[in-house]
A and B are shown apart, each in its own frame.
Chain A
């Protein structure tokens, strides 16, 4: 149990285009999901907290108009990187916090984005 999936697992896009990444909790409902970014040889950096049915909360320094987050259901959150540039190339990882009191978050396998 407690499986989180991400789609796509990797994506290559041209500079200036937008890319959508999906995060799904497969066997549980998640009121709250989190989005992270990880550059090579660095740790995970929290980008935003996604709450079902409400606006996401972004960490300091993360542009909300560039990284659009939608959490329309209890099993799906999406991150859209708008007008992507090469510096947005990174490993994007989501996590989901099961609704109902458990303290554990479960992570997806990550999406590798390369912007040319």
Chain B
């Protein structure tokens, strides 16, 4: 599975959009981009995933560049409860695809 690179930490003002970048320049054609987040002392929470098209759900939007070498997770209106570690993970398809976690981005939403 391809490796990802994320900034170590980011700040965001409450109510503003949080844009979290991720580089995955070695991604293969059949690998998905997944985003999870982990609030302190809890299990990771699934946010969104995509293959090549942009995706949106009730939590966030995922923008994947045309060459698929990078992506951005957008939380449109960040709240204090969005403070967490956000993990960008690239995974192959199928049940055997393991999620390998990097260090993630610690997002601090400030009042």
Contacts and interface: CB of A to CB of B under 8 A. Distances in A.
A28 interface: no
A46 interface: yes
Interface stretch (B9-17, B21-29, B62-70, B93-101): B93-101
Q: Interface residues of B: mostly helix, strand, loop or mixed?
A: loop
Nearest to A59: B98
B46 A110 contact: no
B32 A43 contact: no
Contacts of A25: none
A36 to B, nearest CB: 8
The size bracket of the interface on B is 20 to 34
The size bracket of the interface on A is 20 to 34
B44 A107 contact: yes
A97 interface: yes
Q: Interface residues of A: mostly helix, strand, loop or mixed?
A: strand
B103 A93 contact: no
Contact of B95 (A6, A31, A46): A31
Interface string A1-39: 010101000000000000000000000000110101000
A105 interface: yes
A32 B36 CA distance: 19
A2 B36 CA distance: 15
A103 B46 CA distance: 11
B46 A34 contact: no
B7 interface: no
B99 A105 contact: yes
Given A106-B46, A107-B45, A110-B43, A46 B32 contact: no
A109 B101 contact: no
A77 interface: no
Contacts of B100: 46
B43 A93 contact: yes
B99 A43 contact: no
B76 interface: no
Interface string A36-79: 10000001111001000000000000000000000000000000
Going nearest first, the 3 A-B pairs with the smallest beta carbon separation are A107-B43, A44-B101, A43-B101
